[in-house]
Structure 1
Amino acid sequence: MKTQMTTLALAVLGGLGAMAMPAVSHAGNVGYYGDNCYNVNPASIITAAGHTPVAVASLDAPSLAGLQGLFINGCYFATNAAVDSAVNSGMVLIWHDPNWGGQGSKSLPGGQTVPYSYNGGNRYQIDFPSGSPITAGPGGAINNASLDNGSSSNHGYVDAGSLPAGSQILATQDTASYVTTFAYNTGAGKVVFSTIPLTCYFAAGPCSGNAASPGMQAYATNLIAWAIPGGMVTTCASSGYTGTQLLWCVKICESGLTGKALDDWIHRWIRQYRQLPYCAAGGNPPPV
C-alpha cells in the first residue's frame, strides 16, 4: 500500500505541474449551423458550456463576423472560404461529421485534408488518452465508458499518422491510433474534428434515449467549454467536491501552493481519499 500511495503521489505531482489555474471566463458568441438532420437544437449545450448560442443561416463573412466559435449541427457540411478566413482570424470550428456524404477524405481549414475511414453503424468504443482536457468541465466528469455502446458511438476514425501537424488527440476508438476527435491550431484559430454523430444524442434527437446520451452531452459541453476561449472553467466546486474535500481541493488545485506545502497537502489528500483531485486526474481518478 505504501508503494501504491507513493506512485499515486508522484502522479499527482506530475499532473499538477501542467495544471491550469481557474480563470475568469468571458462568454463568447458561438454560432450553430447545419441541415439539422437529427432534428435537434444545440443551443442549450452551448449555453451550458458558458457561451451565447447564435443561429447562423449562411456561411458567409457577415454571418460569421463576431463569432468566437462555430458548431456544425448537421450531417452535411463543407468548409468554404468564409469559414477558412474566420478560423484564420481566430474563430474555433467544431465539426462532428457522421460522414453521410461518404467522402473518403475531409477538407478542413488551413488547407488540411484528412482521410476518414468509415465504419458504418458499428458500435465501437470511445476512449480518452491520458491528459485529454475534455474529461472534466461544466458537463461533468466522463471516462472511457461514458460514450460506449451508443447506437453508433462513432462512424469511423482518422488514423493518427494522418493528422495535421501539431494536432492534439482528444478521443480515440479502443485502438489508440484510431482517432475519433482531434484538434489543431491554424492561423489565430482552432479546428476540432470528430467522427462521432454527436447531435444524434442531444435532447429530442433519435439517439436521445440511448445509454450513451448523458455521456455524449457531457462530452459536448466539456469540449465546447475547452475549445472556445471564455467557456466555463473547471473548479473544485464545479467538480462536485463538498465539505472538507472541497477545502482540501482548493488548497491543492487553486491556492497557488508550491514545494513542500503543496507536497504535504497532496499526501494528506491521498491518505484520505485514495484518488487524484480533479486538477491532476482530468476528472477521471483511478482507484488505488
Structure 2
Amino acid sequence: MIVITTPTGHIGRQVLGRVLAGGEPVRVVVRDPARLPDAVREQVEVVQGSHGDPQVVARAFEGADALFWLLPTDRHAVSVDEAYVGFTRPAAEAMRACGVKRVVDVSALGRGTPPAARAGHVTASLAMDDLIAGTGAAFRALTMPSFMDNVLRQVRGIKTQGVFYDAVSPDRAMPLVATRDIAAVAARLLLDSSWTGQEEVPVIGPEDLSNNDMAAVMTDVLGFPVRYERMPYQAFKDLFTGNGASEAMARSMVDMAVAKVDGLDNGVVRTPRHAIDTPTTFRQWCEEVLRPAVRAA
C-alpha cells in the first residue's frame, strides 16, 4: 500500500497519477474528496481529513509500505517551526507506530551550508526531515531549489506588464526544477521497494539560471519583452503580510530569499544523473507550460 498526501495539490496530483499508472494499491489523505477526479476516486482508498491530525494519520498509515509526505502551505502559522515540525510530529509518531517502511518527502537544498542555519522555510524543512528520519523508516528527502512552476503565480503581470518579481539578485545563477520532474522522481522511489537507508536526493534540474536569464528565455518564447525586477526585502515581506501571511511566515520567506542570495542552493555539484532524472529545461517548460498559461490568462 502506497499512501499519498496532498493528492489534489500541484505536486501531489502529479505523483498520484504516476503511482496509479504503476498499478500498486494507493491510499490518499485528502480534506475534500470531491476535489479528486471521479476516475481517480474509483482507483484509490480515501482517508478524509488533514494529515496533521493524529487520528487521520493513524488510520491512513496502517499497513502502509510507502508514504509520500508533502506539507500543505500554512501562511497563518505562528512560527515556521510550528508549520513544519509541529504539523509533522503526529505523522512521525504514526509512521513509527504503524511501521511505515519507506518515506519520500519534499524538502529543500542547503543542508551543510552556512546559510541553512538561518534560511526560514528551508531551515524548518530540514528539521522536519530530521524528525522523519528519527522514526527509523527508510527515507529519501527530495531536496529542491525553487520551482519553475512558481512563475505561474505571476502570469497576469507577465502578460500585461512584461515583468516578474522576486527578492533575489538578478544575476545570481541557481538551479531550478519543474514540478513534473519532482513528481517523476518521487513516483519512481515510491514504486521501488528495494531501497533502504536514509539519504537526501538533490532534485536540481539540468541547468543553473539567474532571474535575468529566465527573463531572456521568457522573452524569446513568449514573443514580447519580459524583464525581472528585484523587490527590496521589506517590500517582499509586506507582499506576504498583505496577502494574509503571519508576521513569522512572511519573515521566514525573507530569510529564505537572503539565504538563496548567499548561496543556499548552490552547494550541490550537478552530475549527469541530475540531468537524466530532472531533464526539463526552463525553455522547454516555458514552451509547454508558461506560454499556454499566458495565452489563457
Of structures 1 and 2, the one with the larger relative CO (CA 8 A, separation 6+) is 1
Query: When you count helix as a share of all residues, which structure comes out higher?
Result: 2
State the TM-score, normalized to the length of structure 1: 0.31
State the TM-score, normalized to the length of structure 2: 0.30
